[in-house]
């Protein structure tokens, strides 16, 4: 059964990896797809219409319907053009997958403003731009769905990725706010933290035993495995699912917790700096989280 029959879906960063797999499977499920990709390398170099068109060619070869788009999600006007292309070609927009991404991995005290801004512009601002461009159309038709790609780097933490972690955690907050604001219009917004071997994962250094071992595990994480759950969230069958954070890794699907108070310290006298040091911090300390990185939490082999 086709879950997305006659729907129009925009997938950003769909020239390769996770985005490409999502676009191809969306077409298989009956959707008309706008395949967006700048065609640049993950470090920002290069640039070509090729990757987006290659994905489109594969979709058409299978009998699907798709069109390539090379506009930048990082620019407001360009993001508007992405959504407008869907409207011009197919008459509507039903769902978006904010998947486009880049990396500028640098340890915090050496990171430049450009390296920080470059990642925020694509991941966080790009997700906002495309979502905001689609929002009036979703509101008018009283329906629509968004899936935003977050990361365990933001949810848990990672080394040398202040920009990426900030962007991916920002996407979580953005998605929840969209879900709250747009609920009255039957518009849904969810996040997925994908585990997959892609152009971005391929930049992980392998010049240490730990790095080499991580790469062996990462190479077994199939990008195509992310597509089914992503598209399930865009389907009408998931009309009651919104404001959630999921993870997908090969054959596993996770539901992540969201921040809630887990312990409190109270005094009837009011806190002072001294009493905070002597009483509040010791009372809370037993529930502190360790300084984990993503790989400390997800250390076992994927299923």
Q: How far is CA 37 from the centre of its chain?
A: 15
Q: Is 86 helix (H, G, I), strand (E, B) or coil?
A: helix
Q: At what angle do helices 227-234 and 17-28 cross, to 10 degrees?
A: 50
Tokens representing 279 are 């009483």
Catalytic machinery residues: 164
In 3D space, the residue among 47, 45, 42, 46 whose CA is nearest the CA of residue 19 turns out to be 42
Residues in CB range of 269: below 8 A, 6 or more apart: 275
**Distance separating alpha carbons of residues 39 and 48, to the nearest angstrom:** 5
Between β-strands 245-249 and 252-255, what pairing exists: parallel, antiparallel or unpaired? antiparallel
Tokens representing 250 are 């090969």
Q: Is 49 helix (H, G, I), strand (E, B) or coil?
A: coil
**Distance separating alpha carbons of residues 29 and 231, to the nearest angstrom:** 9
Read off the DSSP letter of residue 302: P
User: Using an 8 Å Cβ cutoff, are 250 and 229 in contact?
Assistant: no
Tokens representing 9 are 């879906």
Q: Is 246 helix (H, G, I), strand (E, B) or coil?
A: strand
| Helix (H) or strand (E) run with residue 164 in it | helix 162-182
């Amino acid at each position: 059964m086709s879950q997305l029959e006659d729907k129009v879906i925009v997938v950003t960063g769909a020239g390769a990896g996770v985005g490409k797999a999502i676009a191809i499977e969306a077409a298989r499920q009956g959707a008309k797809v706008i395949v967006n990709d700048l065609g640049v390398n993950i470090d920002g170099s290069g640039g070509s219409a090729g990757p987006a068109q290659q994905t489109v060619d594969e979709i058409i070869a299978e009998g699907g319907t798709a069109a390539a788009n090379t506009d930048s999600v990082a620019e407001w006007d360009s993001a508007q053009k992405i959504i407008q292309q869907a409207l011009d070609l197919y008459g509507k927009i039903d769902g978006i997958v904010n998947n486009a991404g880049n990396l500028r991995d640098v340890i915090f005290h050496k990171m430049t403003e450009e390296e920080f801004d470059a990642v925020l512009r694509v991941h966080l601002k790009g997700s906002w731009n495309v979502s905001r461009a689609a929002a009036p159309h979703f509101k008018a038709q009283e329906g629509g769905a968004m899936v935003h790609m977050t990361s365990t780097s933001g949810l848990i933490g990672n080394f040398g990725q202040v920009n990426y972690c900030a962007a991916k955690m920002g996407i979580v907050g953005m998605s929840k706010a969209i879900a709250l604001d747009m609920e009255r219009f039957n518009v849904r917004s969810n996040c997925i933290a994908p585990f997959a071997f892609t152009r971005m994962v391929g930049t992980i250094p392998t010049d240490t035993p730990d790095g080499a071992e991580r790469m062996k595990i990462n190479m077994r994480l199939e990008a195509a495995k992310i597509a089914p759950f992503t598209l399930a969230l865009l389907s009408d069958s998931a009309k009651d699912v919104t404001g959630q954070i999921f993870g997908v890794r090969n054959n596993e699907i996770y539901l992540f917790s969201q921040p809630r108070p887990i312990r409190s310290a109270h005094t009837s006298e009011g806190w002072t700096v001294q009493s905070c040091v002597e009483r509040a911090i010791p009372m809370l300390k037993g529930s502190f989280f360790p300084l984990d990185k993503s790989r400390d939490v997800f250390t076992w082999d994927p299923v």
